[in-house]
């Protein structure tokens, strides 16, 4: 199947509006709205191609800005790679030189315009978070820093410290659960013998330090600007699980962050949060589960079939990987960026890359069509800046 390289521009005016062009009759996908641009000719750089296309289509001379995203998209008769750049400076007055209608659109209204499949991820890249943080299991290793005094153990209002500590004592008197990270279905930890938890400081018990440190880590994570978070804490007792989920939901509301609970649809309804489906859970569903209005639905995916089913189900976004080798899965190479892009081209959903990735991988991720990166260690406790 032939590969077509296309360039497009997110043209933004002084009022923050973005220019869309409507595809004319007689073309593929006629009537749909798109970001202006066109095909790159052999030997052209993306920047030169975009300058030429914008002059031919709109009559402007553009100054090409930063890269936003490159979207790999499969159509019935071709595979397209859409290289999208920001443009905020140009000379001339944009007009439809090829008879196409134009519209200056406020960013929050972009999603209401019907678009070709390759343009839809561009809207997500503009409007949705590029980091998706996942919580670690609450163990002493999840702390941001050692807890030195009783004062530092206090949990900010409106959470109840006594309740959380009582739950922690009941749950964490035994050795902490394994923190080996995501398995293939992003839901289970491998079984292994864990090292004993480090001793708590003399002024506090180990459960107190652990529960409070985990919440301190959550606060530090949200303070970095994380606005999309998955609550995933396998291996803890139900009482502590419910208490921490409730505390996390409240903290996310205060921070303006969207929270998704891993797999737990009933509790998500109770707390008014979203849900992140396990891969096995996704496969078993025939329709989108009912959630609170506006709550997000996401899923873990590994195959093109997973991605396509997530799209049919109405998921708002997905995660895909592991892209790179991880410390928790020694000897497993990861699927790599090429395979990630090949899978990603089957859907128009926002797709986060996961597995051995951090903020330093954002540019690579965006150049393979990812919405951004998802992870535990690289984004937790203030490290995700």
Instruction: Write the pLDDT tens digit of every residue in 241-274.
Output: 999 999 999 999 999 999 999 999 999 999 999 9
> In the predicted model, is pLDDT for residue 82 greater than 60?
yes
CATH topology of domain 3-116: Nucleoside Triphosphate Pyrophosphohydrolase (3.90.79)
The Cα–Cα gap between 337 and 3 comes to 17
> In the predicted model, is pLDDT for residue 45 greater than 80?
yes
pLDDT per position as a tens digit, 120-143: 999 999 999 999 999 999 875 554
H or E, element range at 312: helix 304-313
Domain boundaries, the chain: 3-116, 131-375
The total of other beta-carbon atoms located within 10 Å of residue 225's CB is 13
- Do strands 37-39 and 102-105 pair parallel, antiparallel, or not at all (unpaired)? unpaired
**SS3 for 136?**
coil
**SS3 for 309?**
helix
**131-375 is classed CATH 3.50.30.40:** no
Mean pLDDT of all residues in 162-173: 49
Q: Can you spell out the DSSP letters for 149-206?
A: SGGGGPPPTTS-HHHHHHHHHHHHSSPPPP-----TTSS-PPP-PPPPPPPPPTTS-H
Q: Which pLDDT value is given to residue 314?
A: 97
Specify whether the CB–CB gap between 164 and 247 falls below 8 A: yes
The Cα–Cα gap between 381 and 218 comes to 6
pLDDT per position as a tens digit, 194-215: 444 444 344 445 555 577 899 9
Q: What is the mean pLDDT of the chain?
A: 86
3-116 matches 131-375 in fold: no
Q: Which pLDDT value is given to residue 26?
A: 86
pLDDT per position as a tens digit, 296-313: 999 999 999 999 999 999
Q: Which pLDDT value is given to residue 20?
A: 98
Q: Which pLDDT value is given to residue 322?
A: 95
The Cα–Cα gap between 350 and 127 comes to 11
Name every residue whose Cβ is closer than 8 Å to that of residue 199 and which is 6 or more positions away in sequence: 206
Tell me what percent of the residues of the chain surpass a pLDDT of 70.
81
> In the predicted model, is pLDDT for residue 191 greater than 80?
no
- Residue of 146, 148, 164 whose CA lies nearest to 156: 164
Tell me what percent of the residues of the chain surpass a pLDDT of 90.
74
Q: Of 282-291, 328-337, 359-368, which range is least confident?
A: 328-337
pLDDT per position as a tens digit, 50-63: 999 999 999 999 99
> In the predicted model, is pLDDT for residue 160 greater than 90?
no
């Amino acid at each position: 199947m032939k590969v077509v390289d296309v360039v497009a521009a997110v043209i933004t005016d002084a009022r923050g509006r973005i220019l869309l062009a409507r595809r004319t009759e007689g073309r593929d996908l006629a009537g749909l709205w798109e970001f202006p641009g066109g095909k790159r000719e052999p030997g052209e750089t993306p920047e030169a191609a975009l300058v030429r296309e914008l002059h031919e289509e709109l009559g402007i001379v553009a100054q090409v800005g930063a890269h936003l995203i490159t979207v790999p998209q499969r159509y019935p008769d071709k595979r397209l790679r859409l290289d999208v750049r920001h443009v905020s400076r140009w000379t001339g007055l944009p007009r439809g030189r090829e008879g196409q209608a134009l519209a200056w659109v406020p960013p929050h209204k972009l999603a209401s315009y019907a678009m070709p499949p390759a343009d839809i991820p561009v809207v997500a890249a503009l409007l949705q978070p590029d980091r998706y943080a996942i919580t670690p299991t609450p163990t002493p290793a999840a702390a941001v820093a050692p807890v030195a005094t009783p004062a530092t153990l206090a949990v900010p209002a409106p959470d109840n410290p006594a309740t959380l500590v009582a739950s922690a004592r009941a749950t964490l008197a035994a050795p902490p659960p394994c923190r080996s990270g995501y398995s293939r279905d992003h839901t289970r930890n491998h079984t292994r013998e864990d090292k004993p938890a480090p001793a708590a400081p003399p002024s506090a018990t180990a459960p107190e330090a652990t529960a409070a440190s985990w919440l301190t880590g959550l606060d530090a994570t949200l303070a970095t600007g994380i606005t999309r978070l998955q609550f995933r804490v396998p291996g803890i007792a139900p009482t502590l699980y419910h208490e921490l989920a409730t505390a996390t939901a409240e903290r996310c509301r205060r921070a303006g962050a969207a929270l998704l609970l891993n797999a737990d649809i009933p509790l998500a309804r109770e707390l008014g949060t979203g849900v992140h489906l396990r891969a096995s859970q996704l496969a078993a569903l025939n329709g989108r589960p009912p959630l609170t209005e506006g709550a997000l639905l996401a899923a873990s995916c590994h195959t093109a079939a997973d991605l396509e089913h997530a799209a049919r189900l109405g998921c708002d976004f997905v995660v895909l990987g592991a892209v790179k080798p991880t410390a928790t899965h020694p000897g497993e190479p990861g699927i790599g960026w090429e395979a990630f892009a090949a899978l990603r081209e089957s859907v128009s959903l926002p797709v986060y890359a996961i597995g051995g990735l951090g903020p330093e991988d954002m540019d690579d991720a965006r150049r393979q069509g990812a919405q951004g990166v998802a992870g535990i260690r690289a984004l937790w406790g203030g490290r995700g800046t």
